Amino acid sequence: MHSTIGIGVLGAGTVGGTLVARLVDEHAAIAAKTGLDLRVKRVAVRDLDKPRDFTVTDGVLTDDRMSVIDDPDIDLVVELMGGRDLAGDLVLAALEAGKPVVTANKELVASRGPELIAAAERSGVAFLFEAAVGGGIPIIRPLSETLAGEPVERVLGIVNGTTNFILTRMAEDNADYGDALAEAQELGYAEPDPTADVSGADAAAKAAILASLAFGTWVGLDDVYHEGIDSLSPVDMAFAADFGYAVKLIGIAERIGEGVSARVHPVMIPLNHPLASIRGATNAIFIEGPSVGELLFSGPGAGGAPTATAVLGDIIDAARETLAGAQVAPRIRFSPGDQIPFGDVPTKWYMRLEVDDRPGVLAQIAGAFGNAGVSIKSVWQEGEGSEALLLIVTHSARESAQREAVRYLREVDALRNVASVIRVESEEA
């Protein structure tokens, strides 16, 4: 078989446009390094008249997406459209046509992964998605290949650069949430509609993928509990720092007994933990296993150039397999496993309570926690006069019990407001 591989690209936005430009402009360098003649045959776009930052020959741009699948000169399809429905149907069609697919679409992989992986296996072709998590950080291949034999115990990830930038500004510069978000939008870190990022939904899709690969049990997007960062305050950032913590939005995937749990929410993490020092729009993924100990993968998690690099790596990998002519097996297989409901997961909480400053309040607060079966680890009181702040950190208890404590707290007449709740990551019981 000749070393030429015809490539069809679905979508030419930030990542797709960067990828096409590299495939065209760096064609000779890629061929010299890999021995592969990667030729862009078609690029499907919504608007043929929109200005592009890349140049292709006449006839390459098309608004007919199915032509990318049907063209016999295209050996490999790259999906960079986003979304789960149309993109997923096109990817499925390509795989069923016997064409390997590379994607950076985390929502698609998290929501339709088993279906697409099964289709790839039936056709004996590759379905690769290194760029779906962490942008340019190599993490999918290490989890599914290098660490395939490691009984991974936990994966913690800062996997959304937008939220990490916002939290960094709030912690280091005392910026409020709205101002930090506006700055992120001005710098291009956040979309005009930032909901997917700040709500934790984007990170939840990535956490689902990481959990599935780490534990060999498929965790779907709907199985991941997620909270966002819009309720956080610089006040809590300052208190966290005083107590020796940084606040980060973290995806956590872990084994609990015989089951698996995946969740995304703000976390107070000790300042000596490697993730605590991850600043700005940087992403980082921390893996714990009995044989490898602790591993940290860190780097730019978003943007056209880093993500296109990961996509290009998958293209080269899939192209080599295509030229070898061998039946491709999935990188990792998935077996049934129990999903642990978030309510059953042990968590520790930090709470900021606004209360009346009068005798007996602490006893009432302690009673509310006791009624829920939650033990208090430490209490600080701030302020004086008619109102006070109580800062409480609990011992580990089931998430459902922590929430039950909040319900009991709301029955305390001296409580004015549960101003803040943040879960705490700590090795202490």
For the annotated catalytic residues, the residue numbers are: 206
CA distances, 83 to each of 111, 225, 368 (Å)? 10, 20, 44
DSSP state, residue 52: -
**SS3 state at 332:** coil
Retrieve residue 339's tokens: 């999903």
Asked whether 299 and 135 are in contact (CB, 8 A), the reply is: yes
3-state secondary structure labels for all residues of 359-386: CCHHHHHHHHHHHCCCCEEEEEEECCCC
Cα(33)–Cα(361) distance, integer angstroms: 70
Residue showing tokens 């965790």: 219
Cα(397)–Cα(385) distance, integer angstroms: 33
Of 64, 128, 39, 59, residue with least CA distance to 91:
128
Of 409, 406, 399, 404, residue with least CA distance to 365:
409
Determine phi and psi for 107, rounding to 5 degrees: -65, -40
List residues bridging with 392 in a β-sheet.
Answer: 351, 379
Show Cβ contacts of residue 38 under 8 Å, excluding neighbours closer than 6 positions: 5, 7, 23, 27, 30, 31, 315, 316, 319
Cα(264)–Cα(344) distance, integer angstroms: 15
Cα(376)–Cα(369) distance, integer angstroms: 7
